[in-house]
A and B are shown apart, each in its own frame.
Chain A
Amino acid sequence: MPESRQWVPLTPIASAGRRLYNEDVHEMAITQSVIEAVAERSGGRPVTRVTLVIGTLSGVVADSVRFCFDLATSGTALEGATLEIVEVRGRARCRDCGDEVELPDFLALCTCGSADLEILAGEELTVASAEVAA
């Protein structure tokens, strides 16, 4: 074994204190990211409404974000804010027949039977806007 390979002591790099809240599901981390993004732009003023756009193919469950939102905003400028989620349904264009079809999941086929689909919508995960109190 080469001598230069040393043991680096165990370091609790990302444990206590890094996050304000637990991240039991990734929706909590997502919600945290939303709060950070909004707080950066609101300048510390109370935020009364946040609008998110979440696609049904994004891997993020809107209901879970709603569940996390009240918990995660507690004690922040976003506390008490209304959360509005615009859900975008999956949509794709068939590369074979050219039709546009709904895409409820990644395995759905075009009505012509083709699996060669270009996803047009449904993967969105964006913070659209925030309403800030005057």
Chain B
Amino acid sequence: MCATCGCSDSGVVVIDGEAATHEHLHDHPHPHDHPHDHTTHDHDHDHGEVVTLEQQVLARNDLGAARNRGWFEGRGILALNLMSSPGAGKTTLLVRTITDLLTDEDGRGVAVVEGDQETAFDAERVRATGADVVQVNTGSGCHLDAEMLARALQVLDPAVGSLVMIENVGNLVCPALFDLGEAARVVIMSVTEGDDKPLKYPHMFRRADLLVLNKLDLLPHVEFDVDRCTADARRLNPDLEVVAVSATRGDGLDDWYDWLDVRGGRRRPQPVPG
């Protein structure tokens, strides 16, 4: 009995398409055991055939993300994927950051891709800072994918050496699965959301590079244990960096800017001397 193709049940021909036509566009692990060697089957039936794909479901998105990543790197652009639940303060942090960067004469240019299901409210807020912005409305879609970003970048046309901030659709679940080609993933979480979010949404926190705890100014009014939240997030992701800020009042923003500096995200790249 062949578990993969069911050939002993219904009389089918196994075509191992992987060797013949499957283009290996990327490396992926094969953590499961193959139950048998497909190539040894040679049945002669004409009731149907099983096409073996053994292909990552998200292969297409991952390929698009790789293209975007190369596109960014070729232009010396630092791209950040900002993710959070709705209302965590992504746009407020973004507006504050852009305002500070644009008034810094050594600051990088900033361009923004705004993802929301509907409306251009966020793009309007970003536009008011003077930064270039494109709004992507996903309709009922709950996340941005690599192809949407590629199309947005065509319109946005960010300058060489700039910082591109991608504000994903407000959602702690789906955006975690879709690589956009960003250099780093930033999860923004507000203290009003409850300190149990990392354990409730482990995928998002596992795949993040930085956790920004926002609305620090409201901490005295809510039950939120910063240490517990940080510890839980690091149980999922020991490499996660954490900064705590108030995007409205300004607390902790230096830590956020320091993180950006380390990534080369704030200052314009300096010409190599000589």
Contact = CB atoms under 8 A, between A and B. Distances in A.
Q: Are A and B physically bound partners? A: yes
B53 A38 contact: yes
Contacts of A112: none
Interface SS of B by simple majority: mixed
A78 interface: no
Interface of A: 1-2, 5-8, 10-16, 19, 22-26, 29-30, 33-34, 36-38, 41-42, 48-49, 51-53, 59-60, 88, 105-107, 115, 120-121, 123-134
Contacts of A12: 137
B148 to A, nearest CB: 4
A41 B5 CA distance: 16
B215 interface: no
Given A2-B102, A13-B155, A107-B199, A128 B12 contact: no
B269 interface: no
A8 B155 contact: yes
Contact of A26 (B46, B137, B143, B148): B143
B130 A134 contact: no
A106 B202 contact: yes
A33 B21 CA distance: 19
Nearest to B21: A41
B54 A22 contact: no
Interface in B159-192: 173-174, 176-178
Contacts, number: 164
B1 to A, nearest CB: 14
Interface residues of B, number: 61
8 contacts: A26-B173, A26-B178, A36-B60, A106-B236, A125-B57, A126-B55, A131-B49, A132-B49
Given A14-B141, A131-B50, A30 B57 contact: yes
A105 B142 CA distance: 24
Closest A-B pairs by Cβ, 5 of them: A26-B174, A1-B130, A22-B140, A14-B148, A59-B203
Contacts of A23: 138, 140-143
B249 to A, nearest CB: 24
Contact of B123 (A10, A16, A59, A132): A10
Given A30-B57, A130-B53, A131-B12, A124 B134 contact: no
B92 interface: no
Nearest to A36: B60
Interface string B132-146: 111111111111010
Contact of A129 (B53, B130, B138): B53
